[in-house]
Structure 1
Amino acid sequence: MRGIFRNPVTGETGGITAGIRTGLRWKLSAAIALVGALVAIALSLVVHNAARVSMLDNARELADERLRIAQRSYELSGRANFPDIEKDAPDLPAALREKVAEGRRATYITDRPNGSPDIWAAVPVKDGHVLSLHTNWTDRSTDILNDLDQALVIGSIAVVLGGSALGVLIGGQLSRRLRKAAAAANQVAKGESDVRVRDAIGGVVRDETDDLASAVDAMADALQQRLEAERRVTADIAHELRTPVTGLLTAAELLPPGRPTELVLDRAKAMRTLVEDVLEVARLDGASERAELQDILLGEFVSRRVAAKDPAIEVRVVHESMVTTDPRRLERVLFNLLANAAKHGKPPIQVTVEGRVIRVRDHGPGFPSDLLAEGPSRFRTGSTDRAGHGHGLGLTIAAGQARVLGARLTFRNVRPAGAPDHVPAEGAVAVLWLPEHAPTNTGSYPVLP
């Protein structure tokens, strides 16, 4: 079965092959039902055979008792005048005839073609003749056995259905806890460090899910502590570098004019930009940044800012709208996207504003596949076909500032309609989706009636 998926980072769609996914509750239910069915069938066969053997044993004992009475009567009167007693029966089974020839009284059971048993009993008498008794399986015995089989079938079905229901109940509870644990783990993976998996699954329950929740919570805490330590170290190093880098830039500006001075100034400015970007990334990672909100006309704002940045860039306002956002952070996101398009793409660069959506497109080789799959990553400039100069923090900062604004930033490549993935892209598009309701100063969102 074919399905369609959308990449949450890039917004691109594509085909996938979807298999049948069976939940834990149904697997557990099927396992219990299968085991219950096997046990019920085995017990039914055992009970059926035991009941049949018991009924046959009773019939043989009854035939043997009647034969003994007939033997005593024959030896006293010399006549076989007992009901159903034959003398020297010609159809006596061969196996029974052999026992009688040995001078023994014996019983024997034969089966008819329809499966109904016949009970035989024979005994030799003093005058050399053989007395025998032939009785059939009574209808009452057949009815009793049929009723027993029917009860066993009904009981087996009840066991299977009850086991299935029990499996669904137990498996559903376990599946619910595991799904809650998976959802909480996904929230932790998205950066929500205050989420606890143990609380999400419903507190402490002494089973394997509780062990799993404790392990995930411990792992999340350890990772959070490590990330926080790395963030602090990065921020401290960048902060300590600001003073010497500023002094280096000031000293470079005092050098006599010339090509060497231009090279030193260029590298000093690049180092200062890097230090400022690292500090900004550290602040964004700390989740302490808050938006300072204002009401702006988005199309007018973007047009003025882009014109001031580069008049050659085309801006098209499809639909104007009033938005509540932080202009400084929005400008930072916009300028970083434009800088990335100018550095790694090819002209013309186009900016489109439609309602609350801003699109920045270039006509270069497109974004690298790892960025489309995983999103922006710091200190990575992309593949060789899109690699230029820079330290790879521009899109990371843009994505971080978009999160502060409550916006969503996606990336995709432009290809001809229906073209396969190996066909070179005709450009890259970064799309910024501003939220309908801006975040509050505390970072939360207003609850509307």
Structure 2
Amino acid sequence: MSRPSRLIRNPRWTRTLAFKAAAFITVMCCALATMLGVLVHVQVTNQTVGQSRDVALSKLAEATDAYEAGDALAPNASVDPDGLPRELKALAAAGERGTMVADYRGRPLMWAAGPAAGGRALAVAVEYGQQARTIEALDNAILWSSGLAIGVTLLVGAVAVARVTRRLQATAQVARRISAGDLDARVDDPLARKSREDEVAAVAAALDRMATSLQGKLLSEQRFTADVAHELRTPLTGLHAAAELLPPGRPTELVRDRVAALRTLTEDLLEISRLDTGKEQLDIGAVELGALAHRVVAASGAAADVVVVRDRVVETDRRRLERVLGNLVSNAHRHGAEPVIVTVDGPVVTVRDHGGGYPEYLVLHGPQRFRTEGGARGHGLGLTIAVGQAEVLGARLAFGNADGGGAVATLTLPSGASPLGAV
């Protein structure tokens, strides 16, 4: 039985811009050097061979005249000499003239042959060693110069590309910091401040302008939220006091219920505005997670199961942690279905219900203020506050859906917690 083939992936560094640019430069330099080298080699070889051929044919003409006149032949001319290529001998026997370069006794010679009496060949051999060495030296020079040119070009190109990639990486790092919530991050590319900026500087400048604009809009939104919440607080306090003076009855209960909902919404908005400022102070103390989970469930006033797999004592802000778990349990009862299960497994606390699960946007991007789907009640602030308080605690809050159905919120507290009872 054949084993399934495994997908082989290229190393990550081969997918970088620097590697691709270096590979492109290398390929183009090699192609250009090869093309120029071939052109120079062919041109010089044709010229050298042509000159030697002209000399050989001239000497063959002199030898032919002497042969026909019955005079003695020159030392380099003879009839059917040893070493004459068979191709030239056959050509001469057919009554034609021709030339060819061939080695004879380890020496390159330019042969020229023509017809002689009796179907024989009159041939002349001209030294071709100097020309062959010239062509060989030229080929070596082309190879060395091409290699040197490729190396220098690759080095210069790598330096230039590395500078561009460093700037791109710095821009990407700033973009990641902005997406993580650091709205003060800026690229501040020096070239972006010059009148003649390149493409990378243009991208960096655009990112800085976008971050500044986004920061301004978010700060304006935060100030608006805080101002609205503060302005609503006073009249709502008076409205709440007035509602308490109304005579008992169904209308009074409705008024008090709506006033309580408005007060809760206002307090949530105030809490979110405080979280947005990033100036929250922690009150650190030892907290037993199992006992805290039981207290949160009891305070919620709704049925929920607490499962302690591994209890743990953590150093954290008890009030903020209770706020996070309380919001998760409340959200599970309000938007999910029973049974609601709170599980403590070391520093990880999960809250699961058995309803329809979280919306897709919430799983992918986290909770968003004043956004609910499917006719759900609420303003989307409870989970937003839970995420903000978790960030203040240094914890990580993730949202997902269970395979068997239902929403799962997982709170992972910072490392450094110790098992219950540890010294």
* TM-score strictly above 0.5: yes
Given the superposition, is the C-alpha separation of residues 95 and 359 from structure 1 closer, same or farther in structure 2, using an over 3 Å criterion?
A: same
Given the superposition, is the C-alpha separation of residues 63 and 136 from structure 1 closer, same or farther in structure 2, using an over 3 Å criterion?
A: closer
1:375, distance to aligned residue in structure 2 (A) = 0.8
Given the superposition, is the C-alpha separation of residues 256 and 18 from structure 1 closer, same or farther in structure 2, using an over 3 Å criterion?
A: farther
1:372, distance to aligned residue in structure 2 (A) = 0.6
Answering whether residue 38 of structure 2 is matched by residue 45 of structure 1, we say yes
Aligned to 2:18: 25
Aligned to 1:194: 184
Tell me if structure 2 keeps the 8 A contact 1:314–1:351: yes
For residues 190 and 388 of structure 2, what CA distance do their matches in structure 1 show?
A: 27
TM-score by length of 1: 0.74
Answering whether residue 422 of structure 2 is matched by residue 431 of structure 1, we say no
The AA in structure 2 aligned to 1:436 is S
Tell me if structure 2 keeps the 8 A contact 1:321–1:356: yes
TM-score by length of 2: 0.78
Aligned to 1:180: 170
Given the superposition, is the C-alpha separation of residues 318 and 72 from structure 1 closer, same or farther in structure 2, using an over 3 Å criterion?
A: closer
**Aligned-pair Cα RMSD in Å:** 3.8
Query: What does the per-residue CA deviation read over 1:131-176, in whole Å, with 9 as the maximum and x for residues that have no partner?
Result: x974467244334424433443454445445544544444334323
Give 3-state SS (helix, strand or coil) of 2:369's partner. coil
Give 3-state SS (helix, strand or coil) of 1:197's partner. coil
Tell me if structure 2 keeps the 8 A contact 1:181–1:200: no
Counterpart among 318, 343, 348 of residue 357 in structure 1: 348
Q: Which has the higher contact order (CA 8 A, sep 6+)?
A: 1
Aligned to 1:36: 29
Answering whether residue 270 of structure 2 is matched by residue 279 of structure 1, we say yes
Aligned to 2:420: none
* Aligned residue pairs, count: 387
More helix as a share of residues: 2
List alignment gaps of at least 5 residues for structure 1.
4-16, 97-107, 123-131, 417-424, 439-449
For residues 71 and 94 of structure 1, what CA distance do their matches in structure 2 show?
A: 13
Tell me if structure 2 keeps the 8 A contact 1:303–1:315: yes
Give 3-state SS (helix, strand or coil) of 1:91's partner. helix
The AA in structure 2 aligned to 1:428 is A
Answering whether residue 398 of structure 2 is matched by residue 410 of structure 1, we say yes
Counterpart among 235, 242, 255 of residue 233 in structure 2: 242
Aligned to 2:242: 251
Give 3-state SS (helix, strand or coil) of 2:15's partner. coil
Aligned to 1:59: 52
Percent identity for Structure 1 against Structure 2: 42
Given the superposition, is the C-alpha separation of residues 388 and 212 from structure 1 closer, same or farther in structure 2, using an over 3 Å criterion?
A: closer
1:326, distance to aligned residue in structure 2 (A) = 1.5
For residues 322 and 6 of structure 2, what CA distance do their matches in structure 1 show?
A: 42
The 5 A counterparts of 1:49-448 are 49-60=42-53, 62-63=55-56, 66=59, 79=71, 81-84=73-76, 91=92, 134-135=124-125, 138-198=128-188, 207-310=198-301, 312-381=303-372, 383-384=373-374, 387-416=375-404, 425=405, 427-436=406-415
Given the superposition, is the C-alpha separation of residues 93 and 55 from structure 1 closer, same or farther in structure 2, using an over 3 Å criterion?
A: farther
Tell me if structure 2 keeps the 8 A contact 1:29–1:163: no
Give 3-state SS (helix, strand or coil) of 2:92's partner. coil
For residues 18 and 68 of structure 1, what CA distance do their matches in structure 2 show?
A: 66
Tell me if structure 2 keeps the 8 A contact 1:33–1:164: yes
Tell me if structure 2 keeps the 8 A contact 1:313–1:350: yes
For residues 316 and 67 of structure 1, what CA distance do their matches in structure 2 show?
A: 109
Give 3-state SS (helix, strand or coil) of 1:353's partner. strand
Tell me if structure 2 keeps the 8 A contact 1:357–1:433: yes
List alignment gaps of at least 5 residues for structure 2.
80-88, 103-107, 115-121, 418-423
For residues 353 and 2 of structure 1, what CA distance do their matches in structure 2 show?
A: 39
The AA in structure 2 aligned to 1:212 is V
Query: What does the per-residue CA deviation read over 1:274-306, in whole Å, with 9 as the maximum and x for residues that have no partner?
Result: 122122112211212222222222222222232
For residues 164 and 236 of structure 2, what CA distance do their matches in structure 1 show?
A: 58
